[in-house]
Amino acid sequence: MAEGIVVNGSVRVPARALTVRAVRASGPGGQNVNKVATKVDLRVDLSAIEGLSQAARDRLLALAAPRLDAEGRLVVTSQVTRNQSRNLEDAREKVRRLVAAALTRPRARIASTAPAGADQRRLSTKRHRATVKQFRSRPATDD
């Protein structure tokens, strides 16, 4: 069985949370595609990840939502190379990057206001366009 994935000093995915399955890859490759199972299907039990705070766990669930299977496990596949062990390493790296992304707290958005000069420029341009359009109309006739 594969060893766990270390994300940083305090967060790791234990080996018991990982399920690895090798399947046949799709795409070109001749007879190699038909004979050799090089694509790696890695499933991760997100509840077994050690060292995650609740906020980070919630962010991870939000990031991984499109990749969850029916049992709530994260599904990561890799078929970039024709070598099963390299595909396994690639899938493990994808999991590590996803968990690391969930650890970073998003920056709080600070609401800003438009500068007063921008408001004045917008209004003066608007007045100018209004006068230009007014001059396009027919002059009023006094009867």
Domain count, the chain: 1
Residue 25: inside a domain, yes or no? Answer: yes
Structural domain includes residue 135:
no
CATH of the domain at 55: 3.30.160.20
How far is the CA of 73 from the CAs of 5, 43, 67, 68, 113, in angstroms? 16, 6, 8, 5, 43
Does 97 map to a domain? yes
In a domain, 119, yes or no: no
Is position 115 within any domain? no
Q: 3-state DSSP call for residue 32? A: helix
Which of 87, 94, 83, 92 is CA-nearest to residue 2?
92
Tens-level pLDDT at each residue, the chain (143 residues)? 468 888 888 888 888 888 888 888 887 767 777 778 888 999 999 888 888 889 999 999 999 899 988 988 999 999 888 888 899 999 999 999 999 999 899 899 999 998 999 999 999 999 999 999 998 988 777 76
pTM of the model: 0.71
Q: How far apart are CA 68 and CA 57, in angstroms?
A: 14
Residue 132 is assigned to a structural domain of this protein: no
Using CA atoms, how far apart are residues 74 and 4, in angstroms rounded to an integer? 15
pLDDT in tens, 52-66: 889 999 999 999 899
Rounded Cα distance between 138 and 143, Å, is: 15
Beta strands in the chain (DSSP E): 5-6, 12-13, 18-23, 39-44, 74-78
Distance between CA 41 and CA 64 in Å, rounded?
15
Q: Please check whether residue 23 lies inside any domain of the structure.
A: yes
Range of the domain at 65: 5-103
127 falls within a domain: no
